[in-house]
Amino acid sequence: MSRSQILSKIRETTDNLKEKAAYPDYDTSVMHSAVKLTEPDLWKSFSANFKAVNGRAMDCVAQLIEFLDGNNQRTGYCDPDLFDSIGSQLVAAGLTVETSYDRDRYDDYQFGITRATGAIAESGSLIIDDFKTSQRLAALSPWVHVGVLKKDEILRTIPDAITAFGDAPNIIWCTGPSKTADVEGILIEGVHGPGEQIALLV
Amino acid sequence: MPQLIDTYAREISDEKQHSVIDGSTKGTDKRYSVLFNDYEDPDSLRKLAGAIKDHTLHHLDEYLEKSEKALTDRGVNVHFASSDEDARQTILSILRQHEVTQLTKSKSMAAEEIHLNPFLIENGIDCLESDLGEFIIQLDGDEPSHIVKPIIHKNRRGIAETFLREGIAPDYNDDPETITRRARVHLREKYMTAEACITGANFVCSDTGRLALVTNEGNSRFGMAPNKLHIALVGIEKIIPKERDLSVFLNLLGRSATGQQLTVYTEFINGPKSENQPDGPEHMHVVFMDNGRTDVLASNCREILRCIRCSACQNVCPVYRQASGHAYRSVYGGPIGAVLSPILFGKRFPELADLPKASSLCGACNEVCPVDIPIPDLLLRLRDKAKREEVPSEGAIPMSPFATLATSPSLWRTAMTMSKAMNHLPIQVAPIKPLQDWLGQRSLPESHGGDFRKWLKERRG
């Protein structure tokens, strides 16, 4: 009943408008921020913009191991598909890596390594969907999230990333670590999600 | 009788006022530098956004039906709610149907508007706010005073006391990082045991039904990740025609709200768990709510429905900064609230008719608005409405004696000549209440007894 009531109330107004505004003709490229895309290399642009939102861009597993080790983040989850290429190197370096995520122990994982679907160079965002990342919680509950990325998956602009939605029912762009400024406007990272957001290029 | 906005502003504590001024000023500065750093002509972008919204509102019936179809085709249950009560009952019945007793809720102005939280709690459902600011508001039984920064009026000491009092923290600690960590521990336990997650939506794209949802904390993402049911409560004005339009609105929303290009988590959802989506809720419901929006659409203030709830107008408004959001006696404070609140909830017009008057019409709100809402014009239209409907102006000084004086040249001349005598009279202590009220806010310059009139007359001759 509400449905027909709402629609008929809208029509009472819209049918009597003297003039209805047309859909404006515009090119989405007007929304690009040119200053954020000065590097021709998309990984370089992405890295600079990701760093600006306090993300960490890394291009080799050794760098990741050094970071995790140095910050005493020694136990975590790794997507089974990434175990051979990444997880095994972590194990070899003495870290503990699990390839299944047990939600009852959500607080035990200090890091989570999952597959990113892509990235946006202009905004420094990691794109995650459920096709490639089947464990949402593994990208959320650990203090460190590592999104694994290939170079050809980096998109240039936000409009490009929107065009690439396809038919994935759930997509999330992560632009830096989870944060808040609710208390007196002071920036604090790691509110509910990760306090460290890492993009690892493979 | 609740306090009028100007009385509230006069009596606000210094501490609260400083919190609001600091928070809102920072917001404005950041927004300004980011927009002008990133774009050569940001003004043209907000005009474009306004035009897209206007087009949508003028064809809202079509876009609403399209959104409904797109969502239904993707396995989403779509509901419609005419009133606040309809929306509350619809949500309650979905929750009952799924036997939900415990849920988390991410920040939603639509839910604030219908006071969903207390309603669900009264009905035996444990409903927890998961945005840090809203969580603190809930613990305190307070009301948000800003659209984006709900606890802009609070400081760390008050929050630390709340956490101690409510058992969230074992001791008093007002370090903002410690406060945040304690909330993190408390809330993630709740996410994991909750059976549903209620969210709002920032935009709905009518071509694919995709909901766009932005947070910085990741609370909506965490709320939805572990459980089976997602309910989104959406005002019907949140619809935009196409996904491509998101590039306009997302770029403007983050920058206008918090000076970010994008908020940390920008989530796009148009369906429940499926073959395509192995994780996430199994059931998704969208409730499209009217609650006065069609009345606003029919009014001469329909431009206000373009609003994307960024709070830039609150941050920049000199009246909001001095008075705080609570002075507006509604969930929407500041310039947006001064227009929206009196007309959105139907019968609140005479009651809130003082809000449109609490403005100097400086125009800053229009200048920062990412969808170019002519807020000062709308304030004037509402003042006019009050005049036409003969709504008495509570607390205002009667202007009719002045009107008589100003429309009669001979009376005016006499008064001018006489006024010189006032320089020598102690009018500051005259026992006339309206005069005292008026003088309480300004000082009268020395009278020259109509020198200007004389000068002009002689010049003409």
Question: pLDDT for B280-333, tens place per residue?
Answer: 899 999 999 999 999 999 999 999 999 999 999 999 999 999 999 999 998 899
The residue extents of the domains of chain B are 5-293, 400-460
Please compute, for residue A159, the number of CA atoms within 13 A of its CA located in the half-sphere on the CB side: 13
> Looking at chain B, how many residues does it have?
461
* Residue A28 to residue B248, Cβ atoms within 8 A: yes
C-alpha dihedral sign at B333, B338, B343, B347: positive
Assign a CATH topology to domain A36-201.
Answer: Rossmann fold (3.40.50)
Q: CB B278 to CB A130 under 8 A?
A: yes
> Is A169 in contact with B269 (Cβ distance < 8 A)?
yes
- Cα–Cα distance measured from residue A137 to residue B222, given in angstroms and rounded to the nearest whole number: 7
Q: Taking a C-beta distance cutoff of 8 angstroms, is the pair B224, B197 a contact?
A: yes
CA-based nearest residue to B94, from B109, B117, B78: B78
d(CA B290, CA B385): 23
Burial class (CB in 10 A: 0-12, 13-18, 19+), A5: middle
Question: Can you name the CATH fold of B5-293?
Answer: Rossmann fold (3.40.50)
B81 has a pLDDT exceeding 60 = yes
Buried b (16+ CB within 10 A) or exposed e, A47-85: bbbbeebbbbbbeebeebbebbeeeebeebbbbeebbee
B222 touches chain A (CB under 8 A): yes
Strand pairing report for B229-235 and B283-289: parallel
- Give the model confidence (pLDDT) of B258-280 as tens digits: 999 999 999 999 999 887 777 88
Q: Could you report the predicted ipTM of this complex, rounded to two decimals?
A: 0.96
Give residue B302's pLDDT: 96
- For residue B49, give every residue at least 6 positions away whose Cβ sits within 8 Å of its Cβ, in sequence order, or none: B248, B249, B252, B306, B308, B370, B371, B372
SS (H, E, C) B76-99: CEEEEECCHHHHHHHHHHHHHHCC
Separation between Cα atoms, residue B148 and residue B258, nearest integer Å: 8
Instruction: Please give the pLDDT value at position B345.
Output: 73
Transcribe A135-201 into DSSP letters.
Answer: -TGGGTSSSEEEEEE-GGGEESSHHHHHHTTTT-SEEEEE-SS-EE-TTTT--EE-SSS-SEEEEEE
Degrees to nearest 5, angle at CA B246 with B242 and B251: 160
Which residues in A lie closer than 8 A to residue B219 (C-beta atoms)? 191-192
Q: Which residues of B touch A190 (CB under 8 A)?
A: 180-181, 184
Under 8 Å between Cβ of B203 and B212: yes
d(CA B13, CA B437): 21
| Model pLDDT, residue A24 | 97
Rounded mean pLDDT of chain B? 91
pLDDT score at B405? 87
With cut-offs at 50, 70 and 90, classify the pLDDT of residue B346: low
Asked if the Cβ–Cβ distance from A193 to B246 is below 8 Å, we say: no
B26, B225, B247 member nearest A28 (Cβ):
B247
β-strand partners of A56: A198
Q: What is the pLDDT of residue A194?
A: 96
Is residue B384 predicted with pLDDT exceeding 60?
yes
| pLDDT single digits (tens) A18-71 | 999 999 999 998 898 888 898 889 999 999 999 999 999 999 999 999 999 999
Taking CB atoms and an 8 Å limit, are A193 and B265 in contact across chains? yes
In order, the DSSP letters of B200-239 are: --SEEETTT--EEEEESS-HHHHHHSSSSEEEEEEEGGGE
Strands in B21-179 per DSSP E: 77-81, 102-105, 126-129
Mutate to test the interface with A, among B29, B188, B261 (most CBs of A within 10 A): B261
**Worst-scoring range by mean pLDDT, A67-81, B158-172, B218-232, B398-412?**
B398-412
What does the block give as tokens for B286? 């969208």
In this structure, are residues B329 and B353 in contact, taking their beta carbons and an 8 Å threshold? no
Nearest residue of B to residue A120 by CA position?
A: B262
Environment class of B10 (CB within 10 Å of its CB; exposed 0-12, middle 13-18, buried 19+)? middle
Rounded-to-integer distance, Cα A100 and Cα B412, Å: 88
For residue A202, the tally of other CB atoms under 10 A from its CB is 13
- Alpha-carbon distance values, B153 to B143, B254, B320 (Å): 10, 22, 12
- Torsion of the alpha carbons at B38, B41, B45 and B47, rounded to the nearest 10: 150
- The answer to whether the beta carbons of residues B236 and B201 sit under 8 Å apart is no
Are residues A21 and B51, on separate chains, in Cβ contact within 8 Å? yes
Does the beta carbon of B81 lie under 8 angstroms from any beta carbon of chain A? yes
Chain A residues whose CB is inside 8 A of the B106 CB are none
B177 has a pLDDT exceeding 60: yes
Cross-chain residue pair B294–A31, CB shorter than 8 Å: no
> Which pLDDT score, from 0 to 100, does residue B453 have?
81
Distance, in Å, from the CA atom of B218 to the CA atom of A56, rounded to the nearest integer, reads 18
Helix axes B132-140, B176-193, angle to 10 degrees: 90
Which H or E run includes B10?
helix B5-11
Picking from B221, B238, B273 by the largest number of A CB atoms within 10 A of its own CB, the best residue to mutate is B221
Residues of A in contact with B64 (CB under 8 A): 6-7, 10
pLDDT of B209 = 97
Q: Is the pLDDT of residue B116 over 80?
A: yes
**Which is it for strands B196-199 and B102-105: parallel, antiparallel or unpaired?**
parallel
Q: Could you tell me how far CA B257 lies from the centroid of its own chain?
A: 12
DSSP letter for B326, please.
G
Cβ distance B63 to B206 under 8 Å?
A: yes
- Average pLDDT on B59-86 reads 97
Residues B77, B262: Cα–Cα separation, whole Å: 29
E strand segments, B252-367: 265-269, 283-289
Min CA distance, A190 vs chain B (Å)? Answer: 8
Structure pTM? 0.91
Q: Cβ contacts (< 8 Å) between A155 and chain B: which residues?
A: none
Q: Is residue B224 predicted with pLDDT exceeding 60?
A: yes
b/e map of A11-36 (b: 16 or more CB within 10 Å)?
Answer: eebbeeeeeebeeeebebeebbbeeb
Percent of chain B with pLDDT over 90: 70
- Is pLDDT above 90 for B163? yes
**Phi, psi (degrees; rounded to nearest 5) at A174:** -110, 110
**B223 to chain A, closest Cα gap in Å:** 10
Q: Region B237-266: what's the mean pLDDT? A: 96
- Using the Cβ of B193 and the Cβ atoms of chain A, whether some distance falls under 8 Å is answered with no
- Per-residue pLDDT, averaged over A89-98, amounts to 97
pLDDT computed for residue B449 by the predictor: 80
CB contact under 8 A, B133 and A21: no
Q: Measured between beta carbons, which residues in chain B are less than 8 angstroms from residue A106?
A: 188, 192
Of residues B34 and B269, more confidently modeled: B269
The predicted pLDDT at position B2 comes to 66
Half-sphere exposure of B457 (CA within 13 A, CB side): 6
Note the pLDDT tens digit of each residue in A145-165. 999 999 999 999 999 999 999
**Using the beta-carbon criterion (under 8 Å), do A192 and B250 form an inter-chain contact?**
no
Q: B258 and A181: CB-CB below 8 Å?
A: yes
For B249, residues 6+ apart whose C-beta sits below 8 A from its C-beta are: B49, B52, B202, B203, B212, B240, B308
Residue B461 binned pLDDT confidence (cut-offs 50, 70, 90):
low
Contact B180 A188 (CB under 8 A): yes
Q: Which pLDDT does position B187 carry in this prediction?
A: 94
Q: Enumerate the domain spans of chain A.
A: 36-201
Q: For the segment B420-439, what is each residue's pLDDT rounded down to a tens digit?
A: 877 887 777 777 777 787 77
pLDDT at residue B1, rounded to an integer: 52
C-alpha span between B16 and B31 (Å, rounded): 23
More confident residue, B392 or A161: A161
**CB spacing of B217 vs A130 below 8 angstroms:** no
